[in-house]
Structure 1
Amino acid sequence: MEVVRYQLENGLRVILQARPSAPVVACNVWVDVGSADEEPHEAGLAHVHEHMLFKGTERRGVGEIARHVEAAGGHINAFTSFDQTCYYVVMSSRFFETGVDILSDAIRNSAFDADELGRELEVIQEEIKRGNDSPQRVVGQMLFDTAFEVHPYKLPVIGSKESVDSFTRDHVVSFFSKHYRPDNTTLVLVGDFEEAGARALVDKYFGDWVAGGRKKVARPEEPTQKSFRGKVESRDIQDNHLRMSWHIPGVLHDDIPALDILGVVMGAGNASHLYNVIQREKELVNAVYSMSYTPKDSGIFMVGADYQLEEQSHEAVVKTVLEEVFRFRHLSPPIEDIERARVQIESQEIYSQQSAEGLAMKLGRGDLVTGDPEFDQRYYAAIAKVTPKDLVRVAQKYLTPDQLTAVLMRSASSPDVSVDDLQSWALEAFERVETMATDIGVMQSNGGFSSVKFPNGPHLIVQEDPSVATFAMRALTLGGLRFETPQNNGISGLLSELVTSGTSSSSAVDIARRMEGMASGLSGISGRNSFGMALTGLSRYFEKTFDIFGECLTDSIIPEEEFAREKSLQIQGIRSSRDQLGYVNSMQFMRTFFGDYPYGMPVEGTEASISGLSAEASRTFLKKLVRPSGLVLTAVGDVEAEHVAALVEKWFVRTESEESMGVNLPTPPVHTSPLLAVQNLEKEQAYVTVGFHAPLMADPLRYAMEVLYAILSGQGGRLFYELRDRQSLAYSVYASMLLGLECSTFTINIGTSPEKVEQALSGIYSEVQRLLDDGVTPDELERAKTYLIGNHDIGLQKYGSRAMSFALDELYGFGHQKTLEYSDRISEVSIVDIQSFVNRYLKPGHSVVAITKPEAHEVPADILAKIGVE
């Protein structure tokens, strides 16, 4: 797949890569301007353009750009970073020209309507509020703001409330004129096209774009950090969030390959040092990681940890994490750990080739960040040469206490911590390692389907596809939340984490090391209706990884210490979820809507139910749940069906009888009058969910519901246009579906300011009434159907997506090829079908409403009656 690079006379850089393996094209426009290129009075303007360029042009009105893309079966989006802004469209290749046309029109001819700008600035304020409600985002911004003194990387990409409030249309147009020029832009096209045709489209839609005399503002150079920096804040949250960083060079520096390897060996994955020592063995944290962040200018090496104080202290966590980091300055990790890291990094190159979108992103980012067409070849050649001594060298060079920045966002209920405390603990950790370096060890050593139903074994389905040297497998059985009770609620999710925690012959560490050393992934799966395992990897390691897969599914022993550790982590996760506004409201809705039916329970369980579980009871549950004769196994990718079948027979065919898992389900709920549930959570926003009964998974009317979902959702959907664009109620508003075997629900969700709750509710029910009274238009129907079909085709590029879809369809009795019939089913949906769904299910008087809001904002008990819902 040759990459073609050239430049138009106006300065536009063009990158083409023909990729005929799937009928998909990715079209990206990368503008070489990010938040780090803004002047002080422009803070957040790059991000504003990301919002505004799809809001209409001279040829296309508000909402039409997104609708035109979705009508062509694709999806459109954009993102802004420190260094660039990217606008992208992915769609079926038959609509290739439409994608190029739309992107060209948006980039060159945006209208920047003043009224639309005002509404969108309100939406961005909601986005800022949402970010302020996320502890992870807040502490991340704390780190960058503290680590950088003068470089613009210290500032949030999105801007601030004050800067966004200050923007006018003149600001936006001035910024656009300064940066949105062909000589500052890269166009990337990847997918199913002929080079000559692609060149002709580029000339047609971009060739007459007039170049300008752009003068880019020089970024201030960050001075060398010569002393410790720190910051501490407290919030009313469950977790404590510790983030630390050290300055490192930009992406082109010769030290970056070794730093990238160091980040993986130190703290990426379940075989990494920090995970095994800090999280598994010492149980001080519920999450820990490390990585090198290498943007265009100098970046940072980051280490993060999230934890809840039980018996440990802030001091113990900070000092222990830093001791393990500083040990890499003296002791070389085993070569097998470097090989594991090397394979993980190199495998990203292979996995990115599965989709046109992934390739386009890689090429565009490489062009703007590195500016070097040969960078990838040089980088991976350097990765292959990294040695243990290189890791020690870069650790000694960069990981020093005087170059350390440490920030802590602590729970308000935890003991107070000062910046002086952080600095003192860092120095103590460093001095301890320096003194004991010779005595401390770093690591412990450690198209076409084939279908076979095995007697006394599983049902195997294989789809051979050798286009990329990878594969994906899924093993599923009926289970999950649907098989749980209030007493053992959460056991399925707990077991999905524990199924790889150890077998009769392998520990959890052994399993993780072996899998990550082959750049492969192995994990449990638990949902509302199913339980199982997922395996992905490089095809050259298929048999080796399958043996681990089979061993874990058939011989998981759930060691006591692993069970206790994971149980504690799940309880911490349950507590952490209380910080997530949307999740908290969703759980309230589920409890209210489903009642005693299992879907009313949280997938992860409750503190009480998880606390009551024992390792022995969990082993018994797992043994009854995972019976070979009840399994459906699917394999997709660069594998041979006969080889897969031989391995399935080796691991999963049994002659002995099996005790099955019984399930006694309560009667599904039926709502015939409105229900309202309101609760308090101290956040800046409120969250509203309105839900209705919906067709079951096997009901053909579900396809009409899916088409209606597409009509309502997305940037071109009714909800987005009416509640976000016109009324500026929210940054996020969407419909969603929960399809079940015995009961289902269709919901409309919105996060909004507390004072707008009644307006948001009224807006949602107005849209429902509009559907009841007027239905949908033929144009909306066709756009939605095309979008669903195109999006479905795009999704099937990934082997894992196919393997999962085939397994679920077979497990639920629909036949594994149902996924491939999806397009036909959607194509058959008519306006009459949608109206049948609407009339049967979207009854305001039968709806359930859940609202989560700050305590200070009252929601009247009769709010539904006030807006006419009875």
Structure 2
Amino acid sequence: MINKITCNNGLRIVSEHIPHVRSVAVGIWVHAGSRYELPEENGLTHFIEHMLFKGTKTRSARQIAEEFDRIGGNINAFTSKENTCYYAKVLDHHAPYAVEVLADMFFNSLFDPTELEKERQVVLEEINMVEDTPDDIVHEYLWKAMFGDDPLGAPILGTLETLNSFTPDSIVSYMERHYTPENVVISVAGNIQEGFLEHIEKLFGDFELPSRVATEKSVPEITAAFTEKFRETEQGHICFGYPGLSANSDNIYSLVVLNSILGGSMSSRLFQEIREEKGLAYSIYSYHSSYEDTGVLAIYGGTSSSQLEELKTSIQETIRLIEEKGFTETEIQNSKEQLKGNLMLGLESTNARMSRNGKNELLYGSHRSLDEVIESIDEVTLASVTALSKEIFSHEPAISIIMPKKVDQ
């Protein structure tokens, strides 16, 4: 059962008590992601995530790391297009101390100019690492092709130009716009001890920030653009992108089933037809990314440059056969059972429970039980998946390709 406390300042605390485990996972979820950045701020959300680990008024960056090692816990963070999360997982009796450290980072980070310069170099190396990983960067190129100049098309990490412009003042200004109580959810899952939620409320329930107008997000248009890059790489990489569904769409579970059949599992069409039957690729899959007001159904494949055109044609042929012949009832049922299994198995850790509850509260303000989710999966039909596939694949896809450099290039 999910319990919810709304503090006087509007901050929400959601908790799920799991008495049979010995751990507690705590996450600070902030409704701030790269799509809320101004063009000159691109990458700032992610940079702030890094800077919260770089020292507070009472703890150095080294002390933050050592204190979690000392209690045998883990601490980390991530930034997405729409959210940022700072989280920790510890033994249940260490949970009060862990949340005190998280609160210290959240409220008392110094943004020291010396540490900022060092972390700027760290993030630059992170950008370089992604640039050197073609099977990662090809997805960034796809998002740029689909969303153009909209913030959804910009990289979460930012660019060298924007990264070099960040200052302590720009960090504080951004946080005053976005790190506000109504934009924050504290999610807790695990063996919650008596008084722990009150402890969190005491730490987070009174903070306020100067009232500033947050950056408005736009409703992006999706375009079927084509982009091709030449890189020093052994393989060619290709991504197709089709308009998908928003996270709160009534038809989202039909899309989940569709993706599973298309390329979301080892028995999927793409995996069986392109890898197993034709041997064209080691890595071939599809996935969907859903946001508050839009979404993408994407397909990725990687192969040698000599086979890239055949891979592209084979992916298009798989889509064409789906459009012409649809799916089978067996595929629908197998996919639904696989999804239910993945859902249940995926929620066996306190981290997974904390993440699910934090996102649900942040995005929807409500929580569906596992039984309700399974019921929604069971309600998916062959007709609903077929109709959705016809709608999605009626659009021309955006395509991004990375090709190995030729000798004379």
Match of 1:188 in 2: 187
CA distance in structure 2 between the aligned counterparts of 1:146 and 1:170, rounded to whole angstroms: 32
Q: Any gaps of 5 or more consecutive residues in structure 2?
A: none
Match of 2:128 in 1: 129
Give the conservation status (yes or no) of the 8 Å contact 2:39–2:151. no
| Counterparts in 2 of 1:66 and 1:297: CA distance versus 1, 3 Å | farther
| Counterparts in 2 of 1:125 and 1:415: CA distance versus 1, 3 Å | closer
1:408 has 2:407 as partner:
no
1:298 has 2:294 as partner:
yes
For residues 410-809 of structure 1, what are the structure 2 equivalents within 5 Å? 410-413=403-406
Match of 1:120 in 2: 119
Measured after TM superposition, the shift of residue 44 of structure 1 is 0.7
CA distance in structure 1 between the aligned counterparts of 2:152 and 2:38, rounded to whole angstroms: 13
For residues 41-440 of structure 1, what are the structure 2 equivalents within 5 Å? 41-194=40-193, 196-210=194-208, 212-223=210-221, 225=223, 228-309=224-305, 313-374=307-368, 379-400=373-394, 402-413=395-406
Measured after TM superposition, the shift of residue 323 of structure 1 is 1.4
Measured after TM superposition, the shift of residue 341 of structure 1 is 1.3
Measured after TM superposition, the shift of residue 154 of structure 1 is 0.3
CA distance in structure 2 between the aligned counterparts of 1:395 and 1:199, rounded to whole angstroms: 45
Measured after TM superposition, the shift of residue 167 of structure 1 is 1.1
Q: Secondary structure at the match of 1:95?
A: helix
Give the conservation status (yes or no) of the 8 Å contact 2:305–2:403. no
Give the conservation status (yes or no) of the 8 Å contact 2:147–2:222. no
Give the conservation status (yes or no) of the 8 Å contact 2:176–2:211. no
Give the conservation status (yes or no) of the 8 Å contact 1:83–1:369. no
The one-letter amino acid paired with 2:286 is: S
Structure of greater Rg: 1
Give the conservation status (yes or no) of the 8 Å contact 1:58–1:109. yes
Give the conservation status (yes or no) of the 8 Å contact 1:293–1:301. yes
The one-letter amino acid paired with 1:140 is: H
Give the conservation status (yes or no) of the 8 Å contact 2:261–2:268. yes
Measured after TM superposition, the shift of residue 376 of structure 1 is 6.1
The one-letter amino acid paired with 1:403 is: E
Measured after TM superposition, the shift of residue 6 of structure 1 is 1.9
Query: What is the root-mean-square deviation in Å for CA atoms of aligned residues?
Result: 2.0
CA distance in structure 2 between the aligned counterparts of 1:212 and 1:117, rounded to whole angstroms: 23
Q: Secondary structure at the match of 2:312?
A: helix
The one-letter amino acid paired with 1:411 is: P
Q: Secondary structure at the match of 1:166?
A: coil
CA distance in structure 2 between the aligned counterparts of 1:155 and 1:377, rounded to whole angstroms: 37
CA distance in structure 2 between the aligned counterparts of 1:255 and 1:348, rounded to whole angstroms: 19
Measured after TM superposition, the shift of residue 187 of structure 1 is 0.3
Measured after TM superposition, the shift of residue 249 of structure 1 is 2.3
Measured after TM superposition, the shift of residue 216 of structure 1 is 2.3
Q: Any gaps of 5 or more consecutive residues in structure 1?
A: 417-870
Aligned length: 409
Give the conservation status (yes or no) of the 8 Å contact 1:30–1:84. yes
Give the conservation status (yes or no) of the 8 Å contact 1:238–1:308. yes
Match of 1:600 in 2: none
Measured after TM superposition, the shift of residue 288 of structure 1 is 1.2
| Counterparts in 2 of 1:214 and 1:347: CA distance versus 1, 3 Å | farther
Q: Secondary structure at the match of 1:362?
A: helix
Measured after TM superposition, the shift of residue 334 of structure 1 is 2.1
Give the conservation status (yes or no) of the 8 Å contact 1:183–1:212. no
| Counterparts in 2 of 1:120 and 1:332: CA distance versus 1, 3 Å | same
| Counterparts in 2 of 1:3 and 1:301: CA distance versus 1, 3 Å | same
- Asked which structure has the greater RCO (Cα within 8 Å, sep 6+), the reply is 2
CA distance in structure 2 between the aligned counterparts of 1:244 and 1:385, rounded to whole angstroms: 29
After superposition, the C-alpha distances for 1:628-654 in whole angstroms (9 at most, x for unaligned) are xxxxxxxxxxxxxxxxxxxxxxxxxxx
Give the conservation status (yes or no) of the 8 Å contact 1:332–1:389. no
The one-letter amino acid paired with 2:312 is: V
Measured after TM superposition, the shift of residue 117 of structure 1 is 0.8
CA distance in structure 2 between the aligned counterparts of 1:29 and 1:17, rounded to whole angstroms: 15
Give the conservation status (yes or no) of the 8 Å contact 2:180–2:209. yes
After superposition, the C-alpha distances for 1:279-301 in whole angstroms (9 at most, x for unaligned) are 11122222211122212231101
The one-letter amino acid paired with 2:383 is: K
CA distance in structure 1 between the aligned counterparts of 2:293 and 2:270, rounded to whole angstroms: 28
The one-letter amino acid paired with 1:209 is: F
CA distance in structure 2 between the aligned counterparts of 1:128 and 1:259, rounded to whole angstroms: 32
The one-letter amino acid paired with 1:406 is: I
CA distance in structure 1 between the aligned counterparts of 2:357 and 2:408, rounded to whole angstroms: 48
After superposition, the C-alpha distances for 1:737-772 in whole angstroms (9 at most, x for unaligned) are xxxxxxxxxxxxxxxxxxxxxxxxxxxxxxxxxxxx
TM-score (norm 2): 0.95
Measured after TM superposition, the shift of residue 30 of structure 1 is 0.4
Measured after TM superposition, the shift of residue 309 of structure 1 is 4.4
Q: Secondary structure at the match of 2:53?
A: coil
Give the conservation status (yes or no) of the 8 Å contact 1:267–1:290. yes
The one-letter amino acid paired with 2:359 is: R
The one-letter amino acid paired with 1:357 is: N
Give the conservation status (yes or no) of the 8 Å contact 2:2–2:367. no
Q: Secondary structure at the match of 2:347?
A: helix
CA distance in structure 2 between the aligned counterparts of 1:309 and 1:77, rounded to whole angstroms: 38
Measured after TM superposition, the shift of residue 379 of structure 1 is 4.4
Greater shift after overlay, 214-223 or 51-60? 214-223
Q: Secondary structure at the match of 2:176?
A: helix
After superposition, the C-alpha distances for 1:130-172 in whole angstroms (9 at most, x for unaligned) are 1111111211111010011243110000100110011111111
CA distance in structure 1 between the aligned counterparts of 2:364 and 2:235, rounded to whole angstroms: 37
CA distance in structure 2 between the aligned counterparts of 1:238 and 1:114, rounded to whole angstroms: 41
**How many percent of aligned residue pairs carry the same amino acid?**
26
Match of 1:568 in 2: none
Measured after TM superposition, the shift of residue 88 of structure 1 is 0.5
Match of 1:428 in 2: none
Q: Secondary structure at the match of 1:357?
A: helix
Give the conservation status (yes or no) of the 8 Å contact 1:183–1:211. no
The one-letter amino acid paired with 1:213 is: S
Give the conservation status (yes or no) of the 8 Å contact 1:151–1:219. no
Measured after TM superposition, the shift of residue 412 of structure 1 is 2.1
| Counterparts in 2 of 1:193 and 1:363: CA distance versus 1, 3 Å | same
Measured after TM superposition, the shift of residue 318 of structure 1 is 1.3
Measured after TM superposition, the shift of residue 115 of structure 1 is 0.9
CA distance in structure 1 between the aligned counterparts of 2:237 and 2:369, rounded to whole angstroms: 35
Measured after TM superposition, the shift of residue 101 of structure 1 is 0.6
Q: Secondary structure at the match of 1:125?
A: helix
CA distance in structure 2 between the aligned counterparts of 1:376 and 1:167, rounded to whole angstroms: 43
Give the conservation status (yes or no) of the 8 Å contact 1:55–1:62. yes
Give the conservation status (yes or no) of the 8 Å contact 2:138–2:237. yes
The one-letter amino acid paired with 2:303 is: Y
Give the conservation status (yes or no) of the 8 Å contact 2:135–2:302. no
Measured after TM superposition, the shift of residue 303 of structure 1 is 1.0
Measured after TM superposition, the shift of residue 211 of structure 1 is 5.3
Measured after TM superposition, the shift of residue 316 of structure 1 is 2.4
Measured after TM superposition, the shift of residue 208 of structure 1 is 2.6
CA distance in structure 2 between the aligned counterparts of 1:46 and 1:176, rounded to whole angstroms: 9
Match of 1:515 in 2: none
Measured after TM superposition, the shift of residue 415 of structure 1 is 12
Measured after TM superposition, the shift of residue 278 of structure 1 is 1.3
Q: Secondary structure at the match of 2:45?
A: helix
